[in-house]
Structure 1
Amino acid sequence: MAETFAVTVSAGTLRDDGALFTSPHRWTEGGVSVVGAFTGAHLLHVAVGGCVLNDVYREAEDLGMDVLGVRVAVEGGFDTATWASTGIGYRVEVDAAASAAEVGALLDRVEAVAEIPKAITQGTRVTRLP
């Protein structure tokens, strides 16, 4: 049986004040807020959302785009018998002083470089160290 686990990671003008926790953030004064439960499944999705959020700010800075806020909603399922992921999807909302086409190009660039989504889609080995 599959179960869905959803989280939201946000910062700047799109930051959610009803957060599970808030973390300091290099590009925003108020930090990043995380909404969702504190389970391993949710935390994997937080990693995806946090990576995408950070990369939006980083790539926008490189492009000279002024980003005021970012919200990344991530959801995905797990087969609760095996805990194998059934896939992860995310949506990004950006508050920026830019056109929709410029924001779209920014999000395409982020999708191409986001490290955590790339690592997950490539597969990785996780081992307990002594």
Structure 2
Amino acid sequence: MEISAHIRSGLDVHELIVSTDGASRPLVISARPSGRGSAVNGGELLMAALATCYCNDLYREASRLGVPIAGCKVRVQGHFNGVGLAAQSVTYSAVVESSAPAVEVEALLSETDRLAEIHNTLRRGCAVERVAWHGPAA
């Protein structure tokens, strides 16, 4: 599965397109008041990615394990101590609304923690490399 994101930003335009295996869709994020860059920063998007991953994976794993879910809440926070510095710590918590026994809900939370792909990417580290741009400049 290939997942990508493409931003086009300038004084008159701010577009973000996300894609999974070629299925693209816009993700609406406002431009900064200056018109240069996103109103949301990368750290916020990283925390949103972690929260979204865990939320979606809770539903996926609940279905696989047969645990009913009426809803969930996920909160993620990270600490960045300066420009160019990696996050020092990232924590998250989740609560699931379910009619299942507490032991099954806890097993679901643990199994989802074990399998959440974005969480595992950060936990294990992943090479990030700048490569040459291929395609039109604008």
Q: Same fold (TM over 0.5)?
A: yes
Smaller-chain TM-score bracket: 0.5 to 0.7
- Runs (4+) of structure 1 exceeding 4 A deviation are none
Question: How far apart, CA to CA, are the structure 1 residues paired with 2:92 and 2:49?
Answer: 12
Cα distance in 2 for partners of 1:106, 1:57 equals 10
User: Which residue number corresponds to residue 101 of structure 2?
Assistant: 99
Q: Name the structure with the higher strand share.
A: 1
Of structures 1 and 2, the one scoring higher in RCO (CA 8 A, sep 6+) is: 1
2:49 aligns to what? 47
2:120 is matched with 118
Provide structure 1 residue ranges, at least 5 long, that are not aligned to the other structure.
Answer: 1-36
Size of the aligned set, in residue pairs, is 94
Q: 1:38-90: CA deviations, max 9, x gaps?
A: 21001111111111111110000011111110110000101213331111100
Q: Is the 8 A contact 2:67 2:108 kept in 1?
A: no
Identity %: 37
TM-score normalised to structure 1 length: 0.67
Tell me how far 1:101 sits from its aligned partner.
1.1
Q: SS state of the match for residue 55, structure 2? A: helix
Larger radius of gyration between Structure 1 and Structure 2: 2
TM-score normalised by the chain length of structure 2: 0.64
Paired AA for residue 92 in structure 1: A
Task: Quote how far apart the aligned CAs of 1:124 are.
Answer: 1.2
* d(CA) in 2 for partners of 1:118, 1:53: 15
The gaps in structure 2 that reach 5 residues or longer are: 1-38, 134-138
3-state DSSP class of the match of 1:67? coil
Q: Give the superposition deviation at 1:115.
A: 0.5
